[in-house]
Structure 1
Amino acid sequence: MRLSERLHGFRSLGDNCEFGFVQRYGGVEPSGLLRFSYTPMEDLIRGLRCGFADFGAPGDLRIAVSAGGTYYCHSVAYNIWANTGHPAGSIDPEVLVEREYGRLAHLKRKMLDDLADGSKILVRKLGRDTPDSEFARLAEAVWAHGPSTLLRVTAAGPDWRPEPARRIADRVIAGQVRRFAPTEQAWEVDLEPWIHLVDSAYALAHGQAPTDLGAGAFADALPLPSGLRRHAGRHRTPALSAYTRAVDPADLGTDRAYVFSTWVWIPETFGGERVFAVAGHGRLGWRDADLSRRGCWQRVWAAGRMRPGVDREPVGLGMIGTRQDQFWSFGARFHEGPIPEEGAAPTVRMPPARLPGRRLFGWLRSKLP
Structure 2
Amino acid sequence: MKTERFENIGDNCELGFVKRAHGDENGGLLRWARASPEALIEALRHSFAGLYAFENLSAFWDNMVRDSRYGFCFHTDMLSQDRLWCDSEEQRRKIYKSEKEKIDYLVEKFLQRLSDPSVFCVYKCNENVQHEVAEELAQAIAQHGPARLLVVRHTEDPNLIGHVRPESSYLAGYLDHFAPYGHSDQFSPLWNSVLSEALALPLPIA
Q: TM-score range by the shorter chain?
A: 0.7 to 0.9
- How far residue 93 of structure 1 moved from its aligned partner, in angstroms, is 4.3
Q: What is the RMSD of the two structures over their aligned residues, measured on CA atoms?
A: 2.9
**1:146 match:** 145
**Higher strand fraction: Structure 1 or Structure 2?**
1
Task: Give the structure with the higher percent helix.
Answer: 2
Secondary structure at 1:117's aligned position in 2? coil
Q: CA deviation at 1:96?
A: 3.0
Q: Which structure exhibits the higher relative contact order, with contacts defined as CA atoms closer than 8 Å and separated by 6 or more residues?
A: 2
Is the CA contact 2:10–2:35 (under 8 Å) kept in the aligned structure 1?
Answer: yes
Tell me the CA shift for residue 82 of structure 1. Answer: 1.4
| Match of residue 63 from structure 2 | 71
Aligned partner of residue 70 in structure 2, secondary structure: coil
How far the C-alpha of 1:99 sits from its partner, in A, is 2.1
2:23 is aligned with 1:27: yes
Partners of 2:128 and 2:80 lie apart in 1 by 35
What's 1:177 paired with?
Answer: 175
Shift, 1:65, TM fit? 5.8
Partner Cα distance (1:140, 1:162) in 2:
26
Partner of 2:50: 54
SS in 1 for 2:200: helix
**Offset, 1:51:** 0.6
Question: Corresponding residue for 2:13?
Answer: 17
Structure 1 counterpart of 2:6, which letter?
Answer: F
TM-score, scaled to structure 2: 0.82
Q: Deviations over 1:191-238 (max 9, x none)?
A: x1011111111111449xxxxxxxxxxxxxxxxxxxxxxxxxxxxxxx
Deviates more, 1:46-55 or 1:116-125: 116-125
CA 1:205–1:180 in 2, change beyond 3 Å: closer, same or farther? farther
Q: Secondary structure at the match of 2:63?
A: strand
User: Residue 94 of structure 1: CA displacement?
Assistant: 4.2
CA contact (8 A) 1:126 1:152 kept: no
What secondary structure is seen at the aligned counterpart in 2 of 1:180? coil
Match of 1:242 in 2: none
Match of 2:195 in 1: 198
Give secondary structure in 2 for the equivalent of 1:116: coil
**Per-residue displacement from partner, 1:248-306 (whole Å, max 9, x unpaired)?**
xxxxxxxxxxxxxxxxxxxxxxxxxxxxxxxxxxxxxxxxxxxxxxxxxxxxxxxxxxx
| Secondary structure of 1:179 counterpart | coil
C-alpha separation in 2, matches of 1:189 and 1:163: 13
Per the alignment, residue 185 of structure 2 pairs with 187
Q: CA 1:22 to 1:205, structure 2 compared with 1: closer, same or farther past 3 Å?
A: farther
Gaps of at least 5 residues in structure 2 are none
- The Cα shift of 1:158 comes to 9.1
Deviations 1:81-108 (A, max 9, x none): 1124898799964443222111101000
CA distance in 2, matches of 1:162, 1:40: 24
- Cα deviation, 1:172-202, whole Å, max 9, x if unaligned, reads 2221111111123222222x10111111111
Task: Describe the superposition over 1:129-155 as per-residue Cα deviations: whole angstroms up to 9, x where unpaired.
Answer: 643111111111110111111111101
Cα distance change on mapping 1:71 and 1:93 into 2, 3 Å: farther
Identity of matched residues, %:
28
Structure 2 CA distance for partners of 1:35 and 1:88, relative to 1, 3 Å: same
CA contact (8 A) 1:45 1:141 kept: yes
SS in 2 for 1:37: coil
For the structure 1 residues 65 and 137, does the alpha-carbon distance in structure 2 shift closer, same or farther, using more than 3 Å as the test?
A: closer
Equivalent residue letter for 2:107: K
Aligned residues: 197
User: Partner amino acid for 2:179?
Assistant: A
Mapped pair 1:44 → 2:49: no
Are the counterparts in 1 of residues 124 and 153 from structure 2 also a CA contact under 8 Å? yes
